[in-house]
Amino acid sequence: MLNINKNLKGENMKHQETIVANKLVQFAKTKPSQSIDYQSYLSVADLLNHHQFRAVQIVLEGLDSHPRDEILKIISTEDSVWNIMFKPLADGESFAFYETKTLTN
- What is the Cα–Cα distance from 104 to 33, expressed in whole angstroms? 32
pLDDT at 93: 81
Please give the average per-residue pLDDT across 89-100, as a whole number.
Answer: 82
Q: What is the pLDDT of residues 12-23, one digit of tens each?
A: 556 889 999 999
pLDDT at 5: 39
pLDDT at 23: 96
Q: What is the pLDDT of residues 9-67, one digit of tens each?
A: 444 556 889 999 999 999 999 999 998 899 999 999 999 999 999 999 999 999 998 99
The model carries a pTM of 0.80
